[in-house]
Amino acid sequence: MTSPLESNELTDRQSIRALIDAYAHHADRRETQRQADLFTEDAKIEVYPGEPGQHEPITTIQGHQALLAGFADLKTYDVTQHVNGQHTVVLEGDRATGEVYCLAHHIWIEHGQRMFMVMGIRYYDTYVRTAGRWLFAERKLIIDWTDKRPSNP
């Protein structure tokens, strides 16, 4: 039999995973408002070209309006598909931290040529429960590798 404590932890883990998957889904559908609504008002995203601590962020976006503008940049691609992989999470009451692996696929036209890029990325996340709902407080996006090439449909 599952104890209430185990049940709450399981529910929290499932809710955080749903948050992660909703982020990818809204990104791929270009639903910038819905994507931004997954974050706290003062949330921050930092993009790193490698492990934080060994590299400085190349981009920092903070606050709801800045997130909306940043998410709109995905519209420069014709198609994206973010495929989330393994996820670890450490729960600490109404706060949690986690790491998410993701393969981010991008297709666009460049100089008349269809291009394809896949990026092996990870996120170091901080989540907070606000009014009973888990949200992102911070995402550190780490670019582990990138493969860009011409593509034929």
| Model pLDDT, residue 2 | 52
pTM greater than 0.75 = yes
CA of 67: how far to CAs of 4, 61, 74, in Å?
36, 6, 12
- The predicted structure's pLDDT at residue 3: 56
pLDDT tens, position by position, 88-136: 999 999 999 999 999 999 999 999 999 999 999 999 999 999 999 999 9
Residue 105 burial by Cβ neighbours in a 10 Å radius (0-12, 13-18, 19+): middle
Cβ-based neighbour number of residue 126 at 10 Å:
17
* Confidence bin at 151 (pLDDT 50/70/90): very high
What total number of domains does the chain contain? 1
Taking the CA atoms of residue 77, residue 72, residue 67 and residue 138 in that order, the dihedral angle to the nearest 10 degrees is -20
Q: How does DSSP assign 25-74, residue by residue?
A: HHHHHT-HHHHHTTEEEEEEEEEESS-BTTB--SEEEESHHHHHHHHHGG
Average pLDDT over residues 66-92: 96
Q: How many residues does the chain have?
A: 153
pLDDT in tens, 21-54: 999 999 999 999 999 999 999 999 999 999 999 9
Q: What domain range is 32 assigned to? A: 4-150
CATH of the domain at 47: 3.10.450.50
